[in-house]
């Protein structure tokens, strides 16, 4: 254990195609301004249940339901942003299932989304999952695959 970095992983928040965050069609994410990570383009469906990508504490659930932030027991900070520009919906189509301060396991439901409604309003539901605190992690590797909900798709080492 001396001098070795501890490995950790993030899980897909729902089933879909996984890409590196650099492939997200939004410069804030693709240029990694918010951090390293991945994104999932959900499979087709009218509803989408967004799961915790890691075990830890829900630090903040945005009142609009479009995003939530978590912190693991090791202090790693993770942001899940459901769709692009979805804050503009002002919570319409989002049902928050968890609250700030709540401890959750990876795979627990956090937000339920009326995907049909969000897509009909013209929004892309690609969902970035990013490690937001610089200097906490290194060697971030993303498995660009089609993932099932709660499948490990991103590994990293703790600094």
Eight-state DSSP code of residue 142:
E
Partners of 60 in beta bridges? 69
Minimal CA–CA distance to 128: which of 50, 72, 64, 45? 50
Residue with tokens 């090791």: 74
3-state helix, strand, coil in the chain (%, to 5): 10, 45, 45
* 81 flagged as catalytic: yes
Catalytic residue among 11, 66, 81, 146: 81
- Other beta carbons within 10 Å of 85: 11
Give the catalytic positions in this structure. Answer: 81
């Amino acid at each position: 254990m001396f001098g070795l970095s501890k490995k950790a992983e993030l899980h897909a928040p729902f089933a879909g195609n996984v890409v590196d965050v650099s492939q997200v069609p939004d410069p804030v994410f693709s240029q990694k301004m918010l951090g390293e990570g991945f994104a999932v383009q959900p499979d087709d469906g009218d509803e989408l249940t967004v799961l915790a990508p890691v075990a830890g504490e829900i630090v903040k659930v945005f009142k609009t339901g479009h995003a939530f932030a978590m912190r693991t027991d090791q202090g790693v900070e993770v942001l899940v942003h459901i769709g692009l520009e979805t804050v503009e919906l002002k919570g319409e189509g989002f049902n928050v299932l968890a609250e700030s301060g709540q401890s959750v396991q990876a795979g627990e439901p956090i937000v339920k989304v009326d995907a049909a409604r969000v897509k009909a309003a013209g929004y892309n539901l690609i969902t970035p999952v990013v490690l937001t605190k610089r200097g906490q992690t290194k060697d971030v590797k993303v498995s660009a695959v089609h993932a099932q909900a709660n499948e490990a798709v991103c590994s990293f080492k703790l600094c």
